[in-house]
Amino acid sequence: MTTEPVVKKRTMIKALNEALDIGMEIFPEMFLIGEDIGEMGGDFGVTRKLWSKYGGERVRDTPLSEAAIIGACVGSAMVGMRPVAEIMFADFLGECYDQIVNNAAKLHYMFDGQFKASLVIRTACGGGFGGGPHHSQSVEGWFLNVPGLVIVAPSNPADAKGLLLASIESDDPVLFLEHKALYRSKGEVPEGHYTTPLGSAAVAREGTDVTVVAAMRMVPMALDAAEMMAAEGVSVEVIDLRTIRPYDADTIVGSVRRTGRAVVANEAPALGGLGSELSARISQDCFHDLCGPVVRVDGLDTPIPFSDDLEKIVLPDTADVVSAIRTAMAQPSRGKQ
Amino acid sequence: MLSSLYHDMWLIRAFEQGLESEFEKGNVPGMLHTGLGQEATQAALAAHLEATDTYFPDHRCHGINALAQQRHRGDGRRIMAELFGRSTGVCGGKGGSLHSADPLAGNFGDNAIEGSYMATVLGVALAAKMRGEAKVACAVIGDGTVGRGEFHESLNMSAIWELPTLYACVNNGYAIHTPVGKGHASADIIDLARGYGFACEQVDGNDVVASHDAVGRAFEHIRGGRGPFFLEFKTWRWQGVFSGEFRPAEEVKYWREQHDPILMAADRLREMGWTEERLDEVENESRRTIAAWIEFAKQSPAPDPAKATSDVYVGFTVEAP
């Protein structure tokens, strides 16, 4: 006898908060650490009410010392703790880049498996809210070239909760990217404990004519674009990466081999980023199945400007995804479908 | 007590000189930073560190690593083998001189980004405090590390959280080529540490008895739950820079001839009635031991090629070529 899980409408903030709460209940060795995450509940309220429930020892406020925050996570993980750090804005990761890249990510390998960096670094990333050059960046490209690091990037509240619980349970260091523009988006979220597997993409919408690969905020844009194209009789498959490193190449390659057309949608600048990697992989593994080149949607090759009028020029939007799909659909058919 | 410290200092010196000789012959890969001249500081720290404590060694700490490995794990040879990149090394040859670790010996590994573990040590200390354990979390750092932001972040956080952290600052006078007084606001690092408001002490790092006693006071303070401790050892490294000796001749002469920690300890032992034969035997025994360790390292097999791609992740595998 199976019963349907109770599902409620939640914001991503609330879903993340539930995941942290459940994690703290399950793992006595788990603790939260970051700037103003305690009584204040974090800049975006993700740790709200956890300080009053678990106390200041396990929900630990810190000074503005990002390197020390991540160092404390690595050191405590070395003796079996399960820390979850909040770095207020992803743009601040430069302050603890060494701790993540040279310490957390290499720990298990360079000491021959004697330590595990069982830690999570949650951080708010992405543009679209007028944060300006130092509060709006998409940082995944900064970390893609770092073996040993897991990068998780949810696009909806249900995945955010399941992926965060999976990240907490993981014995690898996880950089958990929370797109600010998605924080207040709502979705159905199952109650209680569940995990969404790391390293596994989701088919967010099935389709047969063209595959759009996206992550985070580009996923709802891709879904909107798919809906618009459906009205024109184009069937769009949308793949939500969910984990950016290591990413689920099988799901992407399998889809593109079926559809024969690929669009890669990415908020960051084009050079040396996620879009570059995905295009290269699709071109290499699906070359003989493709009707034409992979079509890319990227942010412009600029910092993120403050003014809303300028920011919307720099960041990709739904219209850009639609345009890319049209470009892909204009490629001559190779007789597929 | 002085007798065992004297043995330990000779083991360190023999280790480093044996290693240096093998390095010059091209038998040791990579780079080499020795702890020659700093034996008293290292022996003093190693004498107090239990296997259940934690220390983060710096790049000149082969000596502490070897003593801890020998004392707590019964096989110091595995530190030597790691420096030769062999499968029998403590990290199977993956870490080398700059990343040798064995948590069961209390050795949590060097990090070749100097001062990086000033942040890491906070986590170990924090975990001990949260669990109510009377453990010491020690970071062995050089004077150059004081320039890193993490030095200050770490001292500040240890202070506000009253963590069981021991900062063992080995002030050997130079950060590679830069004199300590030129690189920092004070040539006495203790002046910079005092502002954080916890217990600080400075000691002659070449006086092994004074150093041993100072470390003892620091451990007692920390184990007693009285918060962090900053201990500065004033010492001097024998090794110049890769291009050779750059320091004034009088300075070299002073530290190597008049203030050598081993010669200073030998003088005390003579006063206690030790004969020259007895003193020589400690040196000879150490050199024999190290020769055997080097032979073990050289005879050990290279790492299994599968190790190149193992343990990148716990939860994912990386494909071998």
Instruction: Report strand pairing: A236-240 vs A210-214.
Output: parallel
Instruction: Report strand pairing: A120-125 vs A82-89.
Output: parallel
Alpha-carbon gap, residue A68 to A261, rounded angstroms:
46
Contacts A31 to B, Cβ<8 Å? 130
Alpha-carbon gap, residue A320 to A230, rounded angstroms:
16
Alpha-carbon gap, residue B253 to B267, rounded angstroms:
18
DSSP-derived 3-state class of residue A147 = coil
pLDDT for B115 equals 87
Residue A93, pLDDT above cutoff 90: yes
Could you say which of B102, B109, B122 has the minimum Cβ distance to residue A72?
B122
Cβ B124 vs Cβ A75: under 8 Å: yes
pLDDT for A2 equals 61
Question: Which of B120, B163, B166, B304 is the mutation pick for testing A, counting most A CBs within 10 A?
Answer: B120
Could you say which of B90, B157, B318 has the minimum Cβ distance to residue A63?
B157
Residue A232, pLDDT above cutoff 90: yes
Q: At CB < 8 Å, which residues of chain A contact B? A: 31, 57, 62-63, 65, 67-68, 70-81, 83, 98-99, 102-103, 108-116, 147-148, 150, 170-172, 198-199, 246
Size of interface A-B (CB pairs under 8 A): 145
Q: How far is A96 from chain B (nearest CA, A)?
A: 10
pLDDT for A335 equals 56
Q: How far is A291 from chain B (nearest CA, A)?
A: 30
Across chain A, mean pLDDT equals: 96
The string of pLDDT tens digits covering residues A242-301 is: 999 999 999 999 999 999 999 999 999 999 999 999 999 999 999 999 999 999 999 999
Name which of A128, A110, A20, A36 is nearest A74 in CA terms: A110
Among all residues of A, which ones are annotated catalytic?
135
Record: contact A75-B121, CB cut-off 8 A: yes
Q: How far is A336 from chain B (nearest CA, A)?
A: 32
pLDDT for B242 equals 78
**Mean pLDDT on A124-149:** 96
Taking CA atoms, what residue in B is nearest to A170?
B315
Q: With bands split at pLDDT 50, 70 and 90, how would you rate the model's confidence at A337?
A: very low
Contacts B117 to A, Cβ<8 Å? 71, 75, 103
Contacts A109 to B, Cβ<8 Å? 94, 311-312
Per-residue pLDDT of chain B (321 residues; tens, 9 = 90+): 999 999 999 999 999 999 999 999 999 999 999 999 999 999 999 999 999 999 999 999 999 999 999 999 999 999 999 999 999 999 999 999 999 999 999 999 998 998 899 999 999 999 999 999 999 999 999 999 999 999 999 999 999 999 999 999 999 999 999 999 999 999 999 999 999 999 999 999 999 999 999 999 999 999 999 999 999 999 999 998 877 899 999 999 999 999 999 999 999 999 999 999 999 999 999 999 999 999 999 999 999 999 999 999 999 999 988
| End-to-end alpha carbon distance in chain A | 40
